[in-house]
Structure 1
Amino acid sequence: MQTHFPRATALALAAALSCGAALADPVKIAVVETLSGAQAASGQTYRAAVRYVVDRMNAEGGWNGEPVQLLEYDNQGGPAGAADKIKAAIADGVHIVVQGASSAVGGQISEDLRKHNLRNPGKEVVYINVGAEALELTGERCHFHHFRFSGNAQVRAKVLVQAMKQTNVLGTRVFAINQNYSWGQDMEKAIVDNAGAGGYQVVDKTLHDVNKIQDFAPYVAKIGAAKAETVMTGNWSNDLLLLMKATKAAGLKARFGTIYLDQPGNLANAGDLALGHYIAHTFNAEAGAAAGDQFVRDYTARTGHAPAATEPQTVFGLAMMAEALKQTKPEKGALNVNAFAKALEAAKVTTPVGEMSMRAADHQAQLPMVVSTVTKDAKYKVDETDMGFKPVRVFTAAEASTPAQASCKMQRPS
């Protein structure tokens, strides 16, 4: 019987770590993230979550009696840097690569590892994707060694629209603003596709350069001119921070439906203007009741801060990784990466907000989603403000799920 995370993960890890007395070559996990520069805040949250899980694994014995080794590589915020770091990680003998910030970077990593694995049978590397949400990664670019443990635009837009409509805050005039690359384009399409179900008109839409806009005032003026009641956006990092700042400066009254509003700093930048905005995210401690409280206490005690933004989904995804490692016995003193990947296809964990599993058809995690609103009544305050995210509705993994894309033609090793 499964119990709630983090206790469930601790038990799974303990079992995994005691599965064999003989020592094996250590499992090597690489974090390939943006750890410096303007976008470092996003990469550092992923790194903090990975360190949390790996530290727990090693406190409970590692894998097959050996500590798991964590290696960290700074991709410097772009695909070119990621490509160089993947080469370095492979040369260092990593078995698992973890990354989440940016679908552009994620696409580079996924393709580089796909090619490496085809050319080097027996030396495969698995990509644990904890935040790169472009649909193509589980569509036409899916492959056996890529696993996504976060949502995607279809899932997030679906639950956001449903919850906002059910609480009568969606309105009938929606403006879509997104970053001009795969993820933002996916979000724009999902916003348009959900118009019928949501009962709204997309009055205007815009795509902009990623993390290059310093002044969003012209975009905010455009939103105001369109008389939008709701702004829906998949923007993240500085593009959301600066959008919120411009919104505050202009006094824009439109309600926001977001994906990454819970990134640290957003509520502080927006101030009281953030009240009433919505977010579709993978975790809300208040929605998790006692199990959510337990996870927050443990994470805070170990890292020095409460889990925020993408950290919970990273922890839960790596909990599934730990469960799969438990099921994978060493072969000739080492990890068989293909056997590990097959175990990962069947892995499940119970998070504070519901069960999370892996869909073998496209390696898209089936995970519960929470839609929350910014209010002063939230149990957990953020950004040292008097505001937080209060859950409006929790969607089970089945309720949030959207079908696997027909373009994914999964090829498994024989």
Structure 2
Amino acid sequence: MKMINHTLGAAAIAAAGVLASGTASAQNVKIGVIETLSGPQAASGLMYRTAARYAVDRINALGGWNGQPVQLVEYDNQGGPTGAADKLKTAISDGVHLIVQGASSAVGGQLTEDVRKHNLRNPGKEIVYLNVGAEALELTGEKCHFHHFRFSGNAQVRTKALVQAMKSAGALGSRVYAINQNYSWGQDMEKATVDNAAPGGYEVVEKTLHDVNRIQDFAPYVAKIGAAKADTVITGNWSNDLLLLMKATRAAGLKTRFGTIFLDQPGNIANAGDLAVGHFIAHTFNAEAGGAEGEKFVNDYRTRTGSAPVATDPQTVFGLLMVGDALGRVKPEGGKFNVNAFARALETTKISTPNGEISMRADDHQALLPLVVSTVSKEARYKVDNTDMGFKPVKLFSAQEAATPAQASCKMQRPS
């Protein structure tokens, strides 16, 4: 664990210094990132950390909170719910007010329940969980609560956009195979694929759930896809489970098109090569769809972090910029930061991004965000993974177009 106060250059330091004068007695807001920051599974966690550092830099460049810089504290959860639970206890002991996490719905489920229980037992010492990537539906459904906010998508909104765009492009077909990892996220994706069959005009010819990141040979699954005569495979698979599935499809000579959620994870396009051309993805940001503002964001992010914002980076940045907006509308109470007042401000937050407006829905604390459906193409403006391919926008959905209703199972209870 280490404490970090990032700023964006001399101007930011000067601004923070001016604003801090006369407010030294005010409390600092502390944001804690609880992610996998070491070991073989650290790649995703490190991306969330980089994006959080960039966003906190921007918040501090605008004065932080009440003239004091926001402090970013980092905790290594070592890859699982148990480690995350332990690090949450440490963060609470360190006086952290806001927790950021995204790289696993299993970890997210642990953290949201631990945060809920802590807040019930410690009125006046509440903390907020800022969910920037754990997309299991239950987190804004039966497990929703006042101190949890999600800034990424979920299976229903992503699949809805994916199906609509692929159908409009004439790339969906009438026979769809659903294959997913067997845990909450994969189960949500399977259900979303079934739910969108009627509006998409397709039949789900078969559904498969498999172990997570344990399958080395997807040939038997590909044989099933071929036997089902599927036009399209819709999958929420990520990492090797997506790459190996696509490779096995090519090896079998199938020309089945893929509709994906995580094809933009770093390394996927480089590893897949030309196999990926023509496949689709529903993602939370596409710089080409954002025009001049998209290019400006990419250039600034690359300058300050050394890499372009891809995969989960943009949603993390935009989510924390919403946090910064809410912080600007919360005043100290006796020199201290009121977490419940912050949460109420965050419920009403709206910001503009290169792809459109993002707002927070108070009913279930699910961010309403624009989604872009793209196809892998050599004609894309922005290339990825040092290849000649990138993600060419097919359709940009506004937040309102992409949204699905709040789940009836969310019974939001607000502090009196």
Task: Assess same fold via TM > 0.5.
Answer: yes
2:382 alignment partner, SS class: coil
Give 1:11-160 correspondences, 5 Å limit: 18=19, 21-23=22-24, 24-160=26-162
- Structure 2: which 5+ runs fail to align? 1-10
1:343-386 deviation digits (Å, cap 9, x = unpaired): 00000100101100000000000111110000000000001110
Contact 1:244-1:266 within 8 A present in 2 as well: no
Q: Which residue of 2 aligns with 1:314?
A: 316
Quick one: which amino acid aligns to residue 344 of structure 1?
L
Measured after TM superposition, the shift of residue 296 of structure 1 is: 0.3
Identity of aligned residues (%): 76
Measured after TM superposition, the shift of residue 251 of structure 1 is: 4.0
Q: Which residue of 1 aligns with 2:230?
A: 228
Contact 1:128-1:147 within 8 A present in 2 as well: yes
Matched, 1:396 2:413: no
Measured after TM superposition, the shift of residue 209 of structure 1 is: 1.6
Q: CA 1:249–1:44 in 2, change beyond 3 Å: closer, same or farther? A: farther
Q: CA 1:113–1:310 in 2, change beyond 3 Å: closer, same or farther? A: same
1:311-346 deviation digits (Å, cap 9, x = unpaired): 001111111000000001111222100000000000
Q: Mean Cα displacement is larger for which, 244-253 or 362-371? A: 244-253
Q: Which residue of 2 aligns with 1:270?
A: 272
1:239 alignment partner, SS class: helix
Quick one: which amino acid aligns to residue 79 of structure 2?
G
Measured after TM superposition, the shift of residue 40 of structure 1 is: 1.4
Contact 1:49-1:311 within 8 A present in 2 as well: yes
What is the distance in 1 between the residues matched to 2:234 and 2:363? 30
1:31-56 deviation digits (Å, cap 9, x = unpaired): 11122233211111111100101122
Q: Which residue of 2 aligns with 1:295?
A: 297
Contact 2:20-2:68 within 8 A present in 1 as well: no
1:171 alignment partner, SS class: coil
1:84-121 deviation digits (Å, cap 9, x = unpaired): 11111111111000011111110110000000000001
Q: Which residue of 1 aligns with 2:255?
A: 253
- Structure 1: which 5+ runs fail to align? 1-9
Contact 2:239-2:268 within 8 A present in 1 as well: no
1:205 alignment partner, SS class: strand
2:328 alignment partner, SS class: helix
Q: Mean Cα displacement is larger for which, 237-246 or 378-387? A: 237-246
Q: Mean Cα displacement is larger for which, 180-189 or 229-238? A: 229-238
1:307 alignment partner, SS class: coil
What is the distance in 2 between the residues matched to 1:361 and 1:188? 25
How many residues align structurally?
A: 403
Measured after TM superposition, the shift of residue 64 of structure 1 is: 1.7
What is the distance in 1 between the residues matched to 2:390 and 2:110? 35
1:186 alignment partner, SS class: helix
Quick one: which amino acid aligns to residue 278 of structure 1?
F
Q: CA 1:84–1:241 in 2, change beyond 3 Å: closer, same or farther? A: farther
Q: Mean Cα displacement is larger for which, 81-90 or 123-132? A: 81-90
What is the distance in 2 between the residues matched to 1:19 and 1:346? 27
Measured after TM superposition, the shift of residue 153 of structure 1 is: 0.7
Measured after TM superposition, the shift of residue 18 of structure 1 is: 4.4
Measured after TM superposition, the shift of residue 394 of structure 1 is: 0.5
Contact 1:134-1:152 within 8 A present in 2 as well: yes
What is the distance in 2 between the residues matched to 1:27 and 1:210? 37
Quick one: which amino acid aligns to residue 22 of structure 1?
T
1:45 alignment partner, SS class: helix
What is the distance in 1 between the residues matched to 2:334 and 2:189? 46
- TM-score when normalising by structure 1: 0.94
Measured after TM superposition, the shift of residue 20 of structure 1 is: 8.6
What is the distance in 1 between the residues matched to 2:258 and 2:41? 23
> Residue 189 of structure 1 is aligned with which of 188, 191, 208?
191
What is the distance in 2 between the residues matched to 1:335 and 1:238? 43
What is the distance in 2 between the residues matched to 1:398 and 1:411? 25
Quick one: which amino acid aligns to residue 393 of structure 1?
K
What is the distance in 1 between the residues matched to 2:119 and 2:244? 40
- TM-score when normalising by structure 2: 0.93
Root-mean-square deviation over aligned CA pairs: 1.9
Moved over 6 A (4+): none
Higher relative contact order (CA 8 A, sep 6+): 1
Measured after TM superposition, the shift of residue 26 of structure 1 is: 1.1
